[in-house]
Amino acid sequence: MYSGRHLKAWPGKTRYRHSAKLVLGGNTLGAQNDRIMNTKSSTQKQRQCGAQTTAVHAGEGNKHGVGVGVGTPIARTSTFTFSSTEEMKRWAEGKSKAYIYTRYGNPTLAVAQEKIAALEGAEAAVVTASGMAAISSALLGALKCGDELISTAQLYGGTYRLMRDVFADLGIKVHHVGTDLAGIERLVNSRSRVLYVESPTNPTVRLVDIAKAAQFGKQHKLISIIDNTFATPVLQRPIELGYDMVVHSATKALAGHSDVIAGAAVGNKHWMERVQHMVIYLGGSMDPEAAYLLNRGMKTLGLRVRKQCENAMAVAKFLEKHPKVARVFYPGLPSHPDHKLAKRQMRGFGSMLAFDLKGGLSAARRVCDRVQLFLLAASLGGVESLVVLPAYTSHYNMSEEELLRGGVTPGMVRVSIGIEDSADLIADLQQALA
């Protein structure tokens, strides 16, 4: 828990370790390239650091010396050599941790994995080709035919459609529950295997009591998984509450510059080995160039999130007072139904908000068509501020009943706040709403 201390106490009491272990992928992933991955001295290794320091330095190895590159090297290769057939035999027998092929592991990917694991306070991490690759690999690593999944109904549309359109064909039954978890006890049976939550939710920015959900999972021996994309590990660290796995669309805030597609899962070594195997089998591996961009983006994560939180609060307050706005969804506002919960379990209120217009869909379209500084684009978490209509993007191909259950209205505009000056963002919305 983050003791309710928000941006004024940045980075607060929560500290981060550099010493999170890298996932080794069972018998398949290799030892770290010594030049890239050597850790600091034992004294430095044990010292706990703040979030921004961790974002810059975790996973980067020892860079002190003469002629050492400050930037993260890119291992731009598909395959790796062996010194002999005997060494290759040792790898096949699980006795060697050498790199063999980038789908199995790569030094640049290893840097990203250690950095994300350290930020989340987890034992290990796996990076993937996209957020959906991380989500599907985590879920398929924990579920099999005949299992049942309990999930919050308010989810990113891609996750919801995966559960709706794919899991039924795999013999996996999905039960949905509200963000308040009301009635969740009635959904548990002998086949229940996984509890999946998203908090804050996409696009309605509702919160789940993540400590309560984690406790429920432990009580019923469920594998608990949470999508932490909106919050980022800067604002909440679910692993500390007992979650088995945390997933991210690293495309969003972790990378932060709208220039890479990436995903990540974190957890203990056991679950990350399962996720890594799913990535190897299904092919959702990250490219080294993407890993480089992710590593570079994460180095400014804390700075970006702080500015985005400040901007989002200013924009939310402006929108709440506008006569054409029916309702604003931002957990930093006292009017938000989960405001007290957000103060308790998050270290800031995030960069995401949504608002409903009194004029419905036509009014929402008009605003999105009139913005000049905001960009009309899907995705979120980047340095640029974006607006989008969820009904046309993340929540397309859903029935009215499904949209209602997910809290999505036709007149809803989702806003991803960037790092621009808040006065300029407000001025743009003011003219778009005029």
User: What does the alpha-carbon distance between residue 335 and residue 321 come to, in Å, rounded to a whole number?
Assistant: 12
**Does residue 22 surpass a pLDDT of 90?**
no
Give yes or no for a contact between 389 and 411, defined as CB atoms under 8 angstroms apart. Answer: no
Q: What SS3 state is found at 108?
A: helix
What tens digit of pLDDT does each residue of 133-185 get? 999 999 999 999 999 999 999 999 899 999 999 999 999 999 999 999 999 99
Q: pLDDT band at 24, cuts 50/70/90?
A: very low
Q: Which of 115, 237, 252, 414 is catalytic?
A: 252
The answer to whether residue 156 is catalytic is yes
* pLDDT at 206 > cutoff 80: yes
Catalytic residue among 17, 103, 324, 344: 103
Q: Which of 161, 209, 227, 243 is catalytic?
A: 227
Contact 22, 117 (CB under 8 A): yes
227 is catalytic: yes
Residue in 104, 156, 160, 330 annotated catalytic? 156
Whether residue 30 is predicted with pLDDT greater than 70 in this model: the reply is: no
pLDDT of 6 reads 38
Please compute the mean of the pLDDT values over residues 14-18 and round it to a whole number.
Answer: 46
Would the pLDDT of 371 be above 80? yes
Which one-letter amino acid corresponds to residue 388? V
* Structure confidence by residue, pLDDT tens digits, 209-259: 999 999 999 999 999 999 999 999 999 999 999 999 999 999 999 999 999
Cβ neighbours of residue 396 closer than 8 Å, sequence gap 6 or more: 157
Q: What is the DSSP letter of 41?
A: -
- pLDDT top residue among 151 and 17: 151
Q: What's the mean pLDDT when you consider all of the chain?
A: 89
Q: What is the pLDDT of residue 5?
A: 34
- Confidence class for position 396, pLDDT limits 50, 70, 90: low
Q: Which residues contact 378 (CB under 8 A, 6 or more apart)?
A: 386, 388, 393, 394
Q: What is the per-residue DSSP string for 172-217?
A: -EEEEE-TT-TTGGGG--TTEEEEEEESS-TTT-----HHHHHHHH
Q: What is the pLDDT of residue 86?
A: 97
- Taking the C-alpha atoms of residue 68 and residue 261, their distance in angstroms, rounded to an integer, is 29
Per-residue model confidence (pLDDT) at position 395: 66
pTM, 2 dp: 0.89
Instruction: Say yes or no to pLDDT of 329 above 80.
Output: yes
